[in-house]
Amino acid sequence: MTATKSSQPRSRARTVRKADPPAPTENAQVERSSPYSRQPSKDAASIAEYIAAITAELAGMAGGARLDMLTYFLNMARLEAEFHMRRQE
C-alpha cells in the first residue's frame, strides 16, 4: 500500500492576535468623504496597527496554504504598516 498525501492543509503553530478595527473619530464624516487624503489623521497609528495585525493573520493563512508570493506581499504590507506605527509615536 502506498502512502498518499493528506488533503488537509498544514497549519503552522503561530498564534496571531486578532485586532479590533479602530474606533471612528470625530472627523469620521470628513475621512469618509476623502479616503485618499495624504494628511495623517489623529488615529493613523491605530489604523496602521490594525492593518499590521490583519495582514499578519492573512500572511499566516497564505503561508499555511503555501502561497509564497502572496505571503511575501502580505508580509511587506505588514512591515509597511509597522513602519507607520513607529513613525506616528
Dump pLDDT digits (tens) for 7-61.
Answer: 555 544 455 556 666 666 555 544 455 555 555 566 888 999 999 999 999 999 9
Q: Taking the domains of the chain in order of start, what are their residue ranges?
A: 41-88
- CA atoms 30, 32, 33, 36: torsion sign: positive
What pTM was computed for the model? 0.56
Nearest to 60 by CA among 46, 74, 50: 74
Statement: residue 1 has pLDDT above 80: no
Running DSSP on this structure, what letter comes out for residue 9? P
How far apart are alpha carbons 52 and 62 in whole angstroms? 15
The residues near 80 (Cβ < 8 Å, ≥ 6 apart) are none
